[in-house]
Structure 1
């Protein structure tokens, strides 16, 4: 997989990855993480991914010139408890479900580690959905992260969204 900095023209491909991941979750009856609506139809999500590209923190992984993964890094998002030291925060990690089993996520996380080290940062953090069977939490633990702090994001007309921050020392 080739990793490159993403531009505004990559935003639709990243949204398509998110839409595909949501379709995969919904097909399994797992709607608590991202709901059932496509990300590409959410003005808030389109604005967020566009901002990630604009601030230079969005990266895409490609195979045969097809975008198969995306990584956004930068400052922690507002809903996350702040770190007590300088960090690089993984704001987004998504891969193409059709390419599952190729370690695309692990490769993108390796890129985040390289970016952190190059920036002189010794802490990499990420958050994820902590509901359901906690498979996503366990994925990040297999990638070398340890559980840090739990949090909840309030939602309108729905239970709070359960989150887990995970950290890795570099």
Structure 2
């Protein structure tokens, strides 16, 4: 039997929190091996009580979607309301709270597929705006990736974190026809 190459999407549920944490852990390792520790640090999400609680909330909150290949999660998308640290939208929107993909499958279009799904969800809800924020530090590669997905950089912001360096972020918006 050959492995499925195009991911299917399914809604997540509370049992999927460990899969989200695995994807975050793998992405963190990938970032660290490339010297990109500013985005998510160096420690696994699965050992951080705050991140574990966040994954549990995402998995039980109704906005989690998983990209699946051969019954294995290879991407996660969480949509809902904007986080408190970004400038509020001036109109109703759907907000991408999380997008993470299996780094072993980088370049295979999984992230783009999940963002297309987010746009479809927004349209189904009668919304004309999809926003996301991302790490804007380093060489800006993540901001450029979102721009290639049809988003436009709007509001830069900084998250101040006690005892840690400030986290530079960028809000991006995509108008939906």
With the shorter chain as reference, the TM-score category is over 0.9
Q: Distance between the aligned counterparts of 1:52 and 1:120, measured in 2?
A: 23
Greater fraction of residues in strand: 1
Asked whether the 8 Å contact 2:17–2:58 carries over to 1, the reply is: no
Asked whether the 8 Å contact 2:8–2:67 carries over to 1, the reply is: yes
Question: In the alignment, what sits opposite 1:16?
Answer: 22
Q: In the alignment, is residue 2 of structure 1 matched against residue 8 of structure 2?
A: yes
Q: Distance between the aligned counterparts of 1:132 and 1:102, measured in 2?
A: 23
Q: Distance between the aligned counterparts of 1:167 and 1:98, measured in 2?
A: 28
Measured against aligned partners, the alpha-carbon deviations of 1:102-146 in whole angstroms (never above 9, x if no partner) come to 100000000000000000000000000000000000000000000
Q: Distance between the aligned counterparts of 1:47 and 1:132, measured in 2?
A: 28
Q: Distance between the aligned counterparts of 1:77 and 1:49, measured in 2?
A: 15
Question: In the alignment, what sits opposite 1:114?
Answer: 120
Q: Distance between the aligned counterparts of 1:17 and 1:68, measured in 2?
A: 7
Asked whether the 8 Å contact 2:75–2:102 carries over to 1, the reply is: yes
Name structure 1 gaps, 5 residues minimum: none
Q: Distance between the aligned counterparts of 2:134 and 2:167, measured in 1?
A: 10
* Alignment: residue pair count: 170
Q: Distance between the aligned counterparts of 1:67 and 1:55, measured in 2?
A: 18
Name structure 2 gaps, 5 residues minimum: 1-6
What value does the CA root-mean-square deviation take over the aligned residues?
0.7
Question: In the alignment, what sits opposite 2:87?
Answer: 81
Asked whether the 8 Å contact 2:15–2:59 carries over to 1, the reply is: no
- Per the TM alignment, residue 158 of structure 1 is displaced from its structure 2 partner at its CA by 2.2
Q: In the alignment, is residue 52 of structure 1 matched against residue 52 of structure 2?
A: no
| Large movers: runs of 4+ above 6 Å | none
- Per the TM alignment, residue 56 of structure 1 is displaced from its structure 2 partner at its CA by 0.3
Q: Secondary structure at the match of 2:16?
A: helix
Q: TM-score, normalised by structure 2?
A: 0.94
Question: In the alignment, what sits opposite 1:38?
Answer: 44
